[in-house]
Homo-oligomer: A and B are copies of this chain.
Amino acid sequence: MNPDLAFENIVVVGLGLIGGSILQTLKSQSYTGNTYGIDSNASAISKAKELSLIVNKDQNIETDLENVLVIFSVPTLSITKAIDDLNLSTEDILYTDTCSVKSSVLEDINSRESKFLNKFIASHPIAGSEKSGLVASTSTLFDNRLTIVCPHEKNEEDDIKKIEAFWNNLGSVTKRLPAKNHDELFAKTSHLPHVISYALMDSIFKDLSNETFLYSGGSLESYTRIASSDPLMWKDIMIANEKSIVESIENFKESLDALLEMIKKKDSHELINFFTDIKKSRDELLSDDKN
């Protein structure tokens, strides 16, 4: 067992891109504990077993495992059912998840008994791809990527540290952030860009042929990449973080309308100031990040 890993047994619930990549990474590190996989799709379990990612061959896993980490790696709105379905008797256990929205997860776990609530430390690895499913999983998905850990007031510091060490061990850098801040921030930096990408694809599809990308010189292709993301996952995110996302869209529309007016007026002076200010701020942000 990797000395950095405090767990003898790891149960991944949801064998998609993220869950699969956690298992691929553990395998590549020759993790000597036992790994288990649960998925509503039986063939995903068979496939994971075939790839030697897990030890179980079907939904039935031992219920008396000791020293367990359970990771719920399911679409955001499926977490309630995933928790309900879990059937482990041990109390020597920690829980985490990989959902992109944290308030809705907290809302669910807050409604549960305290021995579960106290031991659930919410996480969000900022890693993904427009590709989805176990087939797309890799052992390098978390390399140098950020994982946000959103502890709540009932969590104990020792447990939080174990969860952080787990993510660090997979290659990612951890940062703590309260769930509410996480959701407001990601509404802007991730959910809004996805909304825009979907809307952009929708609007240009209406009258462009399959030569669209050819004529874009590649920038549109990269710009709309995220619109190929998993529809179920993103439907859940939109619903679970509705309030913050709607607010971020309304703010974006204000900026868009302001720019639209400048263009309609062909206002050279306003346009060049607007573009120059944005370029300046963005260039500064980038150079800050690189320091």
Q: Which residues of A contact B (CB under 8 A)?
A: 126-128, 145-146, 148, 185-186, 188-190, 192-193, 195-208, 210, 212-217, 219-224, 226-229, 231-232, 234-235, 238-239, 242, 245-246, 248-249, 251-256, 258-260, 262-264, 266, 268, 271-272, 274-276, 278-279, 281-286, 288-289
Inter-subunit contact A253/B253 (CB<8 Å)? yes
A129→B145 CA distance, assembly (Å): 26
Q: Which of B201, B228, B248, B278 contacts A227 (CB 8 A)?
A: B278
Provide the residues of chain B in CB contact with A200, threshold 8 Å.
Answer: 192-193, 196, 252, 255
Chain B's nearest CB lies how many Å from the CB of A140?
14
Query: Can you name 15 extra interface pairs (CB under 8 A) apart from A126-B216, A193-B219?
Result: A126-B215, A146-B214, A185-B208, A185-B215, A195-B259, A199-B252, A199-B258, A202-B255, A203-B251, A203-B252, A222-B222, A235-B268, A238-B266, A239-B271, A242-B264
A215→B245 CA distance, assembly (Å): 16
Provide the residues of chain B in CB contact with A279, threshold 8 Å.
Answer: 227-229, 231
Copies in the complex: 2
Given contacts A215-B126, A228-B279, A279-B228, contact A210 B289 (CB under 8 A): yes
Provide the residues of chain B in CB contact with A202, threshold 8 Å.
Answer: 255, 258-259, 274, 278
Inter-subunit contact A256/B289 (CB<8 Å)? no
Listed from nearest, the 7 A-B pairs whose CB atoms lie closest are A126-B217, A231-B275, A189-B216, A202-B255, A203-B255, A199-B256, A199-B255
A210→B148 CA distance, assembly (Å): 17
Determine the residue in chain B with the shortest Cβ distance to A233: B275
25 A/B residue pairs, CB under 8 Å, sorted by A: A146-B217, A148-B215, A188-B207, A189-B220, A190-B219, A192-B200, A192-B203, A193-B219, A195-B263, A197-B223, A198-B259, A198-B278, A200-B252, A200-B255, A201-B281, A205-B278, A210-B289, A227-B278, A228-B279, A231-B279, A232-B272, A235-B268, A245-B263, A246-B263, A249-B260
Determine the residue in chain B with the shortest Cβ distance to A196: B196
Inter-subunit contact B198/A186 (CB<8 Å)? no
Inter-subunit contact B195/A281 (CB<8 Å)? no
In this complex, which of A189, A198, A253 has the most chain B Cβ atoms within 10 angstroms of its Cβ?
A189
Determine the residue in chain B with the shortest Cβ distance to A127: B217
A286→B131 CA distance, assembly (Å): 13
Inter-subunit contact A228/B271 (CB<8 Å)? no
Q: Which of B251, B266, B282 contacts A228 (CB 8 A)?
A: B282
Inter-subunit contact A256/B264 (CB<8 Å)? no
Provide the residues of chain B in CB contact with A260, threshold 8 Å.
Answer: 195, 246, 249
Chain B's nearest CB lies how many Å from the CB of A250?
8
